[in-house]
Amino acid sequence: MTISVPASPFTDPAPAERLERVAAALTANNFAVEILDDVAAARIRIKDLIPEGASVFTGASETLRLSGIDEDINTSGRYDAIKSRTLATDRATGARDIWRMIASPDVIVGSVHAVTETGSLVIASASGSQLPGYAGGAGRAIWIVGAQKVVPDLGTALRRVEDYCLPLENVRAQEVYGRPSALNRLLILNAELEPGRGIVLLLREAIGF
């Protein structure tokens, strides 16, 4: 599946000094942050961060799909892959069981739609399935974030979500689900209460949208 990327100021990777500024702000807000060169480095680091046998849920993410991390987690057999279990559960009779599984795994892995230079993470969702785990339900949350997602502040982050991410997600949702997406839920993480529970792998390259 190929999704064309419209011309936008939100596509350019942030330079090194901005990445360092974001990393410092996130660290001050109790996130653990690592700046990595590329997706290949993130795939290796993920294996170090997730214990074998841990229950892991992967949020819907083009970053995870394009990087191969989603496949690594859900098909490797190294982990208790929650997504595989939810797909095997009858949605008519087991909807509440599905929500319980995805809300509190040992680890949730995904991405964000924007990260601010003041140290906040912004995630939008149509269904909200990944948000409970991100917000605190998961024992550990790991986000892989492309350098093009860096923005100055929350106002710009919301513009990135509405003006840039949503049109692309609409195309993807139509192709995959046969219906458009929507900004039904929005999560803003300004800090972590427990230092290091949330881990941001900040890449020097652009990936996803």
Whether 197 contacts 141, CB under 8 Å: yes
pLDDT at residue 26, as a whole number? 98
Whether 143 contacts 110, CB under 8 Å: yes
The DSSP-derived string for 138-168 is SSEEEEEE-GGGEESSHHHHHHIIIIIIHHH
pLDDT at residue 2, as a whole number? 44
How confident is the model over 63-74, as a mean pLDDT?
96
Residue 8 confidence class, pLDDT cut points 50, 70, 90: low
pLDDT at residue 3, as a whole number? 46
How confident is the model over 170-197, as a mean pLDDT?
91
pTM recorded for the entire structure: 0.92
173 or 73: which leads in pLDDT: 73
End-to-end CA distance of the chain: 14
Residue 5 confidence class, pLDDT cut points 50, 70, 90: very low
Instruction: Provide the H-helix boundaries in the chain.
Output: 16-28, 39-49, 62-67, 69-75, 82-87, 95-103, 131-132, 154-159, 166-177
The single residue listed with the structure tokens 């999560």 is: 187
Which tens digit of pLDDT belongs to each residue from 77-117?
999 999 888 877 777 777 888 888 899 999 999 999 999 99
Distance CA 133, CA 180 (A): 24
6 or 205: which leads in pLDDT: 205
Domains of the chain in sequence order: 16-203 (3.40.50.10420)
